[in-house]
Structure 1
Amino acid sequence: MLQSENLGKELIEQCDVLIIGSGGAALSAALKAAAAGLSVLIVEKSAWLGGTTAMSGGATWIPANHHARQAGVEDSPAEALAYLRATAPQGWAESEDALWRAFTDSAAEMLAFVEKHSPLRFALTDEADPLATFVGAKRQGRMLAPLPLAASVLDKFGHFKLRPSPLPQFYTYHEVIKHDIWHHPIGVACRLSPQLVWRFARRLRTKGGAMVTGLLAGCLALGCRVVSDARVESLLTHGSHQVIGARYSQLGKQIEVRASQGVVIASGGFEGDAQRLEQHFPGAMDYVCSPDSNTGDGQRMAEEIGAQLAHMDQANMGGAVPWRYLGKPYGLSVYFHYEPNAILVDARGNRFTNEFTFNLGAVLDARNEQGMPLHLPAWLVADSRLLQRSPMLRLTAMRFQNWMIKAPTLAALAAKLKLPHGSLDATVNRFNGFCQHGVDEDFHREQSAAHGEADTRFHGGLMDICQPPFVAVPFNRSFLATKGGPRTDESGRVRHHDGEIIRGLFCAGVAMANPIGTKAVGAGTTLGPNLTWGYICGRTLAAQSASLNGGEKSS
């Protein structure tokens, strides 16, 4: 049971488990711990609940899940583990293999648990593993997304401010990948208007909004207490290798929490900390695409008590367009570079990658021996048909007039971008030559896979860049989430820099040294592993409590 008392000027609270953060990893940990009978306190820094998860599309990569099995798809944790091993960066297996195994063994268990203990429901998408040529890849069955869920499931628990999406969340993730909303927003809205009106009338949430709504409803039903607009400032320790709670501030008050079983750090990334971001990601960047409360508090607090940090140079990143969110500048992560007449060029005016490659963020962040980006600053270059084809991109260019650069000729555009004389002309002429024959001799873009197989409807292929005015927009790294933090073991327990376990301290999601870094293995390899690592932390806490109490508490 949660308890509190006044002790001097500081309020003292007691609970079994303290969760720092309220995104997918945090709520998954809370749900599992609460289902085992533990008292759980969730503390969220922002006034809004849900973190980056609530803003997301809800894509979730879960291998060997029960929905796939019911659909007749054969999969196994062993095949998923083989896929992770085959696609991982060189040298990662030594430190990450135990964590990969824990994830693949626990992911399906997590999904079944979440659907049993919350109103959240998932459905398969028709997407394949994008790295289809590697051993263990599947053509379908590992990608899921939430079904719509009524906001009213939270009404009986009180009023909660869920973090809104930067775009209206009327469409499900399944509809987004099925319909070409980017190019035909009005037509798709008209075609789906009965569903959209029904969702609006019933206050149905979709995507990440549905995910957080369902997880939060499950947590509250099991007795979790949620405190928002409260910043956790420091961890409470006993000796050098044990955490016994934390201290947070709210409305000018200092509250000390004693957590008898442990503290779970699930506070998100550090992309909102400009100094730390520059330290680990030097060079050009465009936007941050996550809540401005993601300032690395969890990483800082863990480091202060001697936790070992790792993967601080890993992140979920790509291109983005300028936007405004809650009245502030923001980057909207959309795949606007998947156009047939668009290419990416570096500061020398040279094309440097297949623009349709799945792990484009890893390409953008490629570094030299000094740790500086090889290809940045970068630009997306296209012609006038880019705007003709995409009303949403055209609207963005009109709304943020300093973002897009236009010129009547390629030479004039190159001058505005400060590219070497003649380089852009040569690059575009070479690309246009490839378009005539349908073969990209430099990067073989024509063979690119969209959702695991050739798809020319959305991802275009090859089309020459020839109709003025010519346009360019910055295309540097934009951050959805950094993925570095405290190193954990396969049970989610944080390691001290001397290699020993810090008792009572756990970490999950993108706050941890994430075992799947910048190089993703599917569209949902942020949310799927995050949910699973939160679940693993909650499961470890439940087992720890049961052991200490002679098996009285169990999940």
Structure 2
Amino acid sequence: MADLVVVGSGGGSLCAALVARQGGLEPLVIEKTDVVGGSTAMSGGVLWLPDNPVSRSAGVEDSPQDARAYFASAVGDVGPSTSPERVEAFLNAVEPMTGFLMEHGVPFRHCEGYSDYYDELPGGKARSRSLETELFNLRQLGPWREKFRARMDMPPIPLYTGEVSPMSLGPRSLRGAATVAKLAGRMIAAKLTGREMRGTGAALQGWMLQAALRAEVPIWTGTPVVDLIVEDGKVLGVEVERDGRRVRVRARAGVLLNSGGFSHNAAMREKYGPSPASAEWTSANEGDTGEVIEAAMRHGAAVDLMEEAWWIPSSVLPDGSPLFAVYERSKPFSMLVDATGSRYVNEAASYMEVGQAMYARHKEVGAVPSWFIMDARHRGRYMWGTSPGGITPRKWIESGYMKKADTLEGLAEQCGIDPAGLRATVDRYNASALDGRDPEFHKGERAYDRYYGDHRVKPNPCVAPVEKAPFYAVALYPGDVGTAGGLLTDEHGRVLRDGGEPIPGLYATGNCTASVMGRTYPGAGASIAASFVFGWLATHHMIDNTARSKSVA
């Protein structure tokens, strides 16, 4: 028995549990997998929070008016999930929620220059509205370190978001070399002092878990939800599997679902999502399988935007693991083409925008996969994934993961691209790229495009001719970091029925819901921010309901 049962431990789950604890409710967090943190712990660990106090203190000029204007122009109205009430609730919660988390020891910092993805629109901010945390020492979690989701297949990387772009330039650039040296120094210092320092999502969720443990929030891992407990149309709790047996857990104030989407559920992807799709392309955590969404639907919950995801162009490495491409696409000496050899999108645009464009193009010609074409300067200078420029693993070439040829026509033949089409596209692109222009798709004109560009290349850090042999290509697919559609909720986070009325006792946030961001990713950390904010709002609504019930009694 608990007051609030939170299903899932990613995104805003621990935030909701902390709010409940401070508001006098007894929370219980239930996590299906054996580790805490969800896909958030595997992410960049950034929250996009318009008009937040941390960015304002860093000198960013923002206002509620600018935030509303940007939301209206970038996100717009795509249905109930982006209703004016939900947008206002999200924006109004930013200030108090950020302050609350800082009071609980979460040390936020402004992500300088990590621009809104559409900064050219009304209300857009090129200096960023995104927050990250200070680095976190995972050893501070004590015995919970072994139950925390953090990648174990690579050394601890104590990296801030602002260091990714210069590091991707490689050690041959002054900025890249300085960043690599700084990172190496941190890693050596951590090893000498017995710390396991992490940045990005591991840092965010590390601070959140530490705060939850200090508040004595109970967390059950290895506990999948089987169904909701519903009586007379009201959700009273959840039925779970724990230690090999079925357990019914009652929730006096409500159940908050934050179980993630259905990225790893092939049947749901086939039923709801665009085609082709594959769970092999997703970078979401393995627990992202959608059964909690289906359980809520069985009990009358309405859904929307089920065909949408947080798309991110991704390749599939020789070992079968996905590798998403973000900073790689913004670098010059490269382009993205379809099977006809034609460009169809600004390669440096938001990952979600490029993924959507890939599917839209595929309806006309073969664009899944698309091919990322690089000349020798791109491969020689810039990182691809975690491999520095100039170092191409032999396995990449031998396996066919990365194609290589001395001519564009030879490269096209290896990829199954029309050679004449590719040659015509490159010639047309190069004619303008000599002057740093992209009249077709305007690459490099947004601040976000330039964030990951190479500022040594003038006048446009994202545009230069593709002309120096040998040439390389990698197949990119519409991967994702989670689905973006799901249960419909109102401004309080209450799950709604098809008719619009709330299901008593049932709340939801995160990737199991239809996002307040609609079909757009307005800035770095938009999905994580929405998960935190609506977890915050839902728990406050439960606290208020509980207080009203006690006053009536």
Report the TM-score, using the length of structure 1 for normalisation.
Answer: 0.88
1:79-105 alpha-carbon deviations (Å, 9 max, x no partner): 212211111256448952211111000
Which residue among 220, 234, 237 is the counterpart of 1:245?
Answer: 237
Q: Contact 1:21 / 1:265 at 8 angstroms: preserved in 2?
A: yes
- Compared with structure 1, are the counterparts of its residues 551 and 149 closer, same or farther at alpha carbon in structure 2 (3 Å cutoff)? farther
Q: CA–CA distance in 1 between the matches of 2:449 and 2:112?
A: 8
Q: Does residue 1:283 correspond to 2:276, yes or no?
A: yes
Look up the match of 1:463.
464
Q: Which runs of structure 2 are paired with 1:12-411 in the superposition (5 Å)?
A: 14-89=1-76, 91-92=78-79, 95-117=82-104, 119-127=105-113, 128-140=115-127, 142-155=129-142, 160-165=146-151, 168-177=155-164, 179-181=166-168, 183-184=170-171, 188-200=179-191, 201=193, 202-239=195-232, 241-279=233-271, 280-283=273-276, 287-322=281-316, 329-358=321-350, 359-366=353-360, 375-390=367-382, 392=387, 397-400=393-396, 401-411=399-409
- The offset of 1:384, in angstroms, is 2.7
- The offset of 1:318, in angstroms, is 1.6
Q: State the SS of the aligned residue for 1:317.
A: strand
Q: CA–CA distance in 2 between the matches of 1:510 and 1:205?
A: 24
- The offset of 1:292, in angstroms, is 1.3
Q: Contact 1:78 / 1:104 at 8 angstroms: preserved in 2?
A: no
Q: CA–CA distance in 2 between the matches of 1:251 and 1:542?
A: 31
Q: CA–CA distance in 2 between the matches of 1:211 and 1:290?
A: 17
Q: State the SS of the aligned residue for 2:342.
A: coil
Q: State the SS of the aligned residue for 1:544.
A: helix
Q: Does residue 1:474 correspond to 2:475, yes or no?
A: yes
- Compared with structure 1, are the counterparts of its residues 333 and 424 closer, same or farther at alpha carbon in structure 2 (3 Å cutoff)? closer
Q: State the SS of the aligned residue for 1:258.
A: strand
Look up the match of 2:434.
436
- Compared with structure 1, are the counterparts of its residues 451 and 423 closer, same or farther at alpha carbon in structure 2 (3 Å cutoff)? closer
- Compared with structure 1, are the counterparts of its residues 498 and 339 closer, same or farther at alpha carbon in structure 2 (3 Å cutoff)? same
Q: Contact 2:75 / 2:519 at 8 angstroms: preserved in 1?
A: no
- Compared with structure 1, are the counterparts of its residues 291 and 193 closer, same or farther at alpha carbon in structure 2 (3 Å cutoff)? same
Return the letter of the residue paired with 1:189.
V
Look up the match of 1:6.
none
> Number of matched residues?
532
Return the letter of the residue paired with 2:150.
P
Return the letter of the residue paired with 1:195.
R
Q: CA–CA distance in 2 between the matches of 1:233 and 1:334?
A: 37
The Cα RMSD (Å) is 2.7
Q: CA–CA distance in 2 between the matches of 1:454 and 1:41?
A: 41
Q: Contact 2:116 / 2:129 at 8 angstroms: preserved in 1?
A: yes
Residue identity (%): 28
Q: CA–CA distance in 2 between the matches of 1:372 and 1:273?
A: 27
Q: CA–CA distance in 1 between the matches of 2:156 and 2:44?
A: 9
Q: CA–CA distance in 2 between the matches of 1:381 and 1:452?
A: 19
- The offset of 1:485, in angstroms, is 0.8
- The offset of 1:515, in angstroms, is 1.3
Q: CA–CA distance in 2 between the matches of 1:510 and 1:39?
A: 24
Q: Contact 2:163 / 2:179 at 8 angstroms: preserved in 1?
A: no
Q: CA–CA distance in 1 between the matches of 2:212 and 2:99?
A: 16
Q: CA–CA distance in 2 between the matches of 1:141 and 1:353?
A: 24
Q: Contact 2:335 / 2:373 at 8 angstroms: preserved in 1?
A: yes
Return the letter of the residue paired with 1:447.
E
Q: CA–CA distance in 2 between the matches of 1:121 and 1:446?
A: 33
Q: Contact 2:408 / 2:419 at 8 angstroms: preserved in 1?
A: no
Return the letter of the residue paired with 1:365.
Y
Q: Contact 2:165 / 2:327 at 8 angstroms: preserved in 1?
A: no
1:202-246 alpha-carbon deviations (Å, 9 max, x no partner): 33332211211221222222231111111111111012x311111
1:374-398 alpha-carbon deviations (Å, 9 max, x no partner): 8433111122333211351665753
- Compared with structure 1, are the counterparts of its residues 457 and 74 closer, same or farther at alpha carbon in structure 2 (3 Å cutoff)? closer
Q: State the SS of the aligned residue for 2:228.
A: strand
Which stretch has the larger CA shift, 380-389 or 168-177? 168-177
Q: State the SS of the aligned residue for 1:434.
A: helix
Q: State the SS of the aligned residue for 2:190.
A: helix
Runs of 4+ deviating beyond 6 Å = 371-374, 451-454
Return the letter of the residue paired with 1:511.
C
Look up the match of 1:10.
none
1:447-487 alpha-carbon deviations (Å, 9 max, x no partner): 24337779542883222222333221112201111111100
Which stretch has the larger CA shift, 67-76 or 487-496? 67-76
1:3-35 alpha-carbon deviations (Å, 9 max, x no partner): xxxxxxxxxxx1111111001221111111121
Look up the match of 2:546.
545
- The offset of 1:159, in angstroms, is 5.6
- The offset of 1:530, in angstroms, is 1.7
- Compared with structure 1, are the counterparts of its residues 178 and 344 closer, same or farther at alpha carbon in structure 2 (3 Å cutoff)? closer
Q: CA–CA distance in 1 between the matches of 2:100 and 2:433?
A: 50
Q: Contact 1:18 / 1:245 at 8 angstroms: preserved in 2?
A: yes
Q: CA–CA distance in 2 between the matches of 1:529 and 1:249?
A: 29
- Compared with structure 1, are the counterparts of its residues 332 and 161 closer, same or farther at alpha carbon in structure 2 (3 Å cutoff)? farther
Q: Contact 1:199 / 1:205 at 8 angstroms: preserved in 2?
A: no
Q: CA–CA distance in 2 between the matches of 1:518 and 1:255?
A: 38
Q: Contact 1:377 / 1:476 at 8 angstroms: preserved in 2?
A: yes
Q: CA–CA distance in 2 between the matches of 1:96 and 1:415?
A: 49
Return the letter of the residue paired with 1:493.
R
Q: State the SS of the aligned residue for 2:373.
A: strand
- The offset of 1:547, in angstroms, is 1.5
Return the letter of the residue paired with 2:420.
G
- The offset of 1:152, in angstroms, is 4.2
Look up the match of 1:500.
501
1:179-218 alpha-carbon deviations (Å, 9 max, x no partner): 3245237763334433333334333332211211221222
Q: CA–CA distance in 2 between the matches of 1:95 and 1:181?
A: 35
Q: CA–CA distance in 2 between the matches of 1:284 and 1:218?
A: 38
